[in-house]
Amino acid sequence: MQDQTSNNGLWFLIARSLSGEATSVEEEQLRQALMKDIALQQQYDLMKRMWHAGDNQSAANTDEEEKKNITRILQLAKTETQPSDEIPLIQIKSRRRYLYVLSGVAAVLILVVLGWFINNSNTKKSLTSKANNTQNLVAANGSRTRTILPDGSTVWLNAGSHISFAEDFSGKTREVVLDGEAYFDVVKQPQRPFIVHVSGYDIRVLGTAFNVKSYPKDKTVETTLIRGLVQVTKQGVNLQKPIVLHPNQKLIVDKFAANIPNNLPDNNTPLTNQVDPKDFSIRKLDTSIQESERIETAWIYNRLQFRGDSFTDLADKLERWYNVKIIFDDERVQQLNFTGSFEQETIEQAFAALKTANAFNYRIEGKDIHVYSVK
């Protein structure tokens, strides 16, 4: 018999459990699987609460047609086994929300059931957490997500990132708070500017596509513009001239700078290479490199790209990408530098490849990876 706790089999068990059709053996299999994954246990508990949110609705909400639809989709979940390589998609609408998580066809189907059920029972709950009328979206280490916001804009969240925004998202401005890295493709609404608040800076746009990176350990905020225009200002500084970015420009600002200088170049003048006043710089992107291979945007194509990174900096990226902990047993190995990319590789394959590029030793103990110099 095929292991029911495999990736798609686990989602099938969740579907069976939520619908009340799981056998005692299946319930025990699910319980054992959830005990090994706290995050999945939390997701299951939330889905279970949502699934039963409409139990007190009138019988009209559970008529024969609904039961037939649920049974049909659960049957599809049972037969489908092909995984999906797409970044998970969460679609949020201001009044009625649908959620699709593309981590395997079976997962898609059961969560489509959930979205369909929520919509038809008029519940206001979603699989994103809410507190004080705020929506919170998280991409945990080892994962990346793609989200459609209530205004139709799309945001990709890189591993270890978090955004929050007002639940109704219907004010005069569309504002989100970012911690980590995100790529935004913003729907143009001239009367409702889109503002990203990140590490003491505000990035204001109308309709554009851009990447923002500022993890807690980062000393800088990086804004990379793909198309459109963005204005960047430091929070709490009055009468400040904003930095205006044009397509294929990248702004790097010191997260802890007291101010941004106002002696900026004329934005109509092409930047030959880099403007480098104190605390900030503007760089031109190499447009001969495809977006899927650029350091700034490769991650949304499921590729971890790195160029000349010290082992310390690369370790931060690997920890988020693979959800592991890298421990340096000596300082000398931290100074090694690496250039390359990972896409389909496991963490074991990634470290084997890194070792061929530079001489070092390592040992993997569960999710802990010890790295040390060759003696």
Tokens representing 274? 């880099």
What is the per-residue pLDDT for 8? 59
Question: Could you tell me if 330 and 268 lie in one domain?
Answer: no
349 lies in which domain range?
303-372
Question: Could you tell me if 221 and 325 lie in one domain?
Answer: no
What is the per-residue pLDDT for 230? 94
Question: Could you tell me if 165 and 207 lie in one domain?
Answer: yes
Question: Could you tell me if 159 and 270 lie in one domain?
Answer: yes
Question: Could you tell me if 280 and 327 lie in one domain?
Answer: no
The reply to whether 15 falls in a domain is no
Domain's final residue, options 239, 257, 284: 284
- Whether the CB-CB separation of 84 and 98 falls below 8 Å is answered with no
Three-state SS at 164:
strand
Question: Could you tell me if 280 and 132 lie in one domain?
Answer: yes
The reply to whether 152 falls in a domain is yes
Backbone angles phi, psi at 150, to 5 degrees: -60, -25
What is the per-residue pLDDT for 257? 73
Where residue 230 sits, what CATH number does that domain have?
2.60.120.1440
Residue pLDDT, tens place only, 249-280: 999 998 887 666 554 444 444 333 333 445 77
How deeply is 84 buried, as exposed, middle or buried, from its count of CB atoms within 10 A (0-12, 13-18, 19+)?
middle
Question: Which long-range contacts (C-beta less than 8 Å, at least 24 apart) are formed by 164-173?
Answer: 164/134, 164/135, 164/136, 164/137, 165/134, 165/135, 166/133, 166/134, 166/135, 167/94, 167/130, 167/133, 167/134, 167/135, 168/94, 168/133, 169/94, 169/135, 170/94
Question: Could you tell me if 148 and 259 lie in one domain?
Answer: yes
Please give the model's pTM, rounded to 2 decimal places. Answer: 0.67
The reply to whether 44 falls in a domain is no
- Mean pLDDT in the chain? 76
Question: Could you tell me if 240 and 208 lie in one domain?
Answer: yes
Question: Could you tell me if 332 and 253 lie in one domain?
Answer: no
What is the per-residue pLDDT for 364? 95
How deeply is 340 buried, as exposed, middle or buried, from its count of CB atoms within 10 A (0-12, 13-18, 19+)?
middle
Mean pLDDT by 10 residues, the chain (375 residues): 52 76 80 70 64 49 50 43 50 41 41 46 40 82 89 93 89 94 94 94 92 94 95 83 92 79 45 48 91 92 93 96 96 94 93 94 95 91
Quote the number of domains for the chain: 2
Q: Determine how many CB atoms are found less than 10 A away from the CB of residue 153.
A: 22
CA angle 225, 174, 227 (to 5 degrees): 20
Where residue 357 sits, what CATH number does that domain have?
3.55.50.30
The reply to whether 337 falls in a domain is yes
What is the per-residue pLDDT for 56? 47
Domain's final residue, options 255, 284, 313: 284
The reply to whether 102 falls in a domain is no
What is the per-residue pLDDT for 23? 82
Question: Could you tell me if 238 and 361 lie in one domain?
Answer: no
Question: Could you tell me if 237 and 361 lie in one domain?
Answer: no
The reply to whether 242 falls in a domain is yes
Distance CA 92, CA 100 (A): 10
Question: Could you tell me if 199 and 328 lie in one domain?
Answer: no
What is the per-residue pLDDT for 164? 94
Distance CA 152, CA 91 (A): 9
Residue pLDDT, tens place only, 191-225: 999 999 999 999 999 889 999 999 999 999 999 99
Q: Which residues of 275-295 are buried (b: 16+ CB within 10 A; e: fewer)?
A: eeeebbbbbebeeeeebeebb
